[in-house]
A and B are shown apart, each in its own frame.
Chain A
C-alpha cells in the first residue's frame, strides 16, 4: 500500500515541485539546408539516445527502486476525496444509535431525477417514523441535492462508487444504506454537500436564550 500513499503525494499539490522548464528550441527550419543541418546536428549530438536513456532509467526506477505506478484496482483501491458523491448512506445519531432521518421528505421533494420515495407514519411513540425509503440508483444522478437539503445530516454521500448493474432500475432500501448498528463507531461525517461549513459558527446569528 506504500505506493498508494505516495500516489496521494503526487497529486496536484505537488505540481510546483515538478519544475517544468520550457525549452527554447528556436525556429523550426522549413526546408533545404537549414533542415539538413539541424538533422546532422541533432544526430551528432546523439539526442535520440537521451530519449532512450530516459525510458531506460524509468524502467530501472520502476523495477528496482519501487516506483511502480500501478494500482491493482479491484484488489487495491485509492482513497477517494472526502467530498466525492457516491452511493448514499443513512447516518445514525452517535449518542442513541437511532437513525437521524426524521422523514421530512425534503430529499424526496428536491430530487431532480425523482428517484427518492418515502413513506412515513405515526409510530407508537407519537413520533414520525420512516416506514419505507428507497432510492432508485438507476435514475440517481448523484447531484447531491438530497444531502444538501437534509436538515439532519441524515442522508449523505458515501464512498461506494462501484455501481455497475445489470438492470436499469436498482433500488436501495433504507436498511441497506443505514450504518450498521455495530459499525456505529466507524461512522464518519460527510464533508461534502450539506455538511456544516468550517466557518459555520461565524454565520450564526445570536439568539437570546437567557434561561
Chain B
C-alpha cells in the first residue's frame, strides 16, 4: 500500500469524524442562532452555554428505541438513512478543504509528506459532487415510500419533485463558472481566483451565484424550501416514522450537505482557500464556509417557507430561464 493510499484513508477518517462532529455541532449552532434571532437564549443548561446539549442529544438518539413500523419494508426502511448519510460524505471526497501543505519534518514517520487539498482531486470534481448529491435524493425518496405512512408518501413525492427540479438549476447555474474556468476540478476553480477579492467569480457571475444559492437551499431541504418535512403540513414528511439513530442519520446527512453546499459556494464563487494579503487562506476559507452556513440559519429565522406550487413556478419559470440566459450570455462574452 503506498503512502497516497494511507494518506487518503487518514484524510477520509479525519473528514468523516470532523464533518460528523460539525454536523452535530451545526444543530447546536442552529438552535442557538435561531434563539438569538428571536431574542431567546436557546439551550443553556447542559454544560457551559448548553454546549453539551449535542452530547445529550447524541446519547438520547443512540439510546432511543429503534422502531420499525409493522407494515414497513424493513430492508429499505433501514437502508434509506444510510443512503442519505453516505452520499453526503461521498460528495465530500472531491471537495478541497484546505490549501495543500507539507507536514513539518519534525514529526516522525509522516514528516515531510505533502498533503493535497482534497481527498480525490478528480478532474470532474464538481460533476461528481453534484452527481452524488443528486443520488442522495434516494434517501428521502425510499424512506418515505418504505415506511407505509401517508405523510411519508407525501414527503417522498415532494422529494422527487423538488430535488429533480432543482438539480437542473444547480447544474445550469454552475455551468457558466465552469465555462469561464474551463475545468470541472474544484482545485482549478480555486486556482482561477488566486488574485485577491477582485478575481472572485462572484463578480463575473452574480446571477449564477444567486441561482446556485437558491438551488443549494432547495437541494439541502432548507427553509424556505423545506417542503419535504414541513411539520405544519405533513407532520415530518419522509422522517415521520423514524426515530433514534436512523432519524439522526438523516440529520447528519442534511447538515453534511449544508457544509458541502457552503464549501462549493466558497470555492466556486468566493475565492476558495486563497490567501488575501497577509490573511491566511485557512482562516478565510473557514470564515467563508461559516458565513454560508450562518446564512442558511439566518434565512430560516427570517423567511417563511413557500408553497410547493410556488416553488415549482420559481424553478421552471424563473430560475431555469434565468440560468439558461446566463449561460448564453456568458458564452457570448467568452466568444467575444
Are A and B in direct contact (Cβ within 8 Å)? yes
Tell me the A residues contacting B by CB distance below 8 Å.
Answer: 36, 39, 48, 51-52, 54-56, 58-59, 61-63, 67-70, 72
Contact A70 B40 (CB under 8 A): yes
B37, B38, B303: residue with the most chain A Cβ atoms closer than 10 Å = B37
Give the number of residues in B that approach A within 8 Å (Cβ atoms): 15
Task: Give residues in B with beta carbon < 8 Å to A.
Answer: 33, 36-41, 44, 298-299, 301-303, 317-318
**Contact residues in B for A48 (Cβ distance below 8 Å):** 303
Residues of A contacting B318 with CB < 8 Å? 39
- Expressed in whole angstroms, the minimum distance between the Cβ of A141 and any Cβ of chain B is 33
Residue in contact with B302 in the complex, picked from A36, A52, A70, CB distance below 8 Å: A52
Chain A residue at minimal CB-CB distance from B224: A48
Chain A residue with the shortest CB-CB distance to B299: A52
- Please report the number of residue pairs spanning A and B whose Cβ atoms sit closer than 8 angstroms: 42
CB-based contact B303/A62 at 8 Å: no
Beta-carbon contact of A55 and B39 below 8 Å: no
Rounded to whole angstroms, the CA-CA distance of A124 and B109 in the bound complex is 97
Q: Is the interface of B mostly helix, strand, loop or mixed?
A: helix
Which residues of B have CB within 8 Å of A56?
37, 298
Q: Min CB distance, B37 to chain A, in Å?
A: 4
The 4 closest A-B pairs by CB, nearest first: A62-B39, A51-B302, A55-B302, A70-B41
Q: Measured between alpha carbons, how far is A63 from B39 in the docked complex, in Å?
A: 8
What is the CB-to-nearest-CB distance from B133 to chain A, in angstroms, rounded to a whole number?
A: 25
Contact B303 A69 (CB under 8 A): no
**Contact (Cβ within 8 A) B298 A67:** no
- How close is B34's CB to chain A, nearest CB, in angstroms? 9
Report chain B residues within 8 Å CB of A52.
298-299, 302-303
Chain A CB within 10 A, most for which of B39, B299, B301:
B39
Contact between B302 and A68, CB atoms less than 8 A apart: no
Q: Is the CB of A69 within 8 A of B298?
A: no
- Are A69 and B36 closer than 8 Å at their CB atoms? no
Neighbouring A residues of B317 by C-beta, 8 Å: 36
Residues of B within 8 A of A72 (CB): 41, 44
- In the complex, the answer to whether B37 meets A55 with C-beta atoms within 8 Å is yes
CB-CB under 8 A from B37, the residues of chain A are 55-56, 58-59, 62
Residues of A within 8 A of B299 (CB): 52
Report how far A48 CA is from B33 CA in the complex, Å.
19
Partner of B39, one of A36, A39, A51, A68: A68
Complex CA gap A145/B36 in Å reads 44
Contacts of A68 in B (CB 8 A): 39-41
Q: Please state if A58 and B298 are interface contacts (CB–CB under 8 Å).
A: no
Q: Which residues of B contact A39 (CB under 8 A)?
A: 318
Cβ A61 vs Cβ B302 within 8 A: no
Give min CB distance, A64 to chain B, whole Å: 10
Specify which chain A residues have a CB less than 8 angstroms from the CB of B41 in the assembled complex. Answer: 68, 70, 72
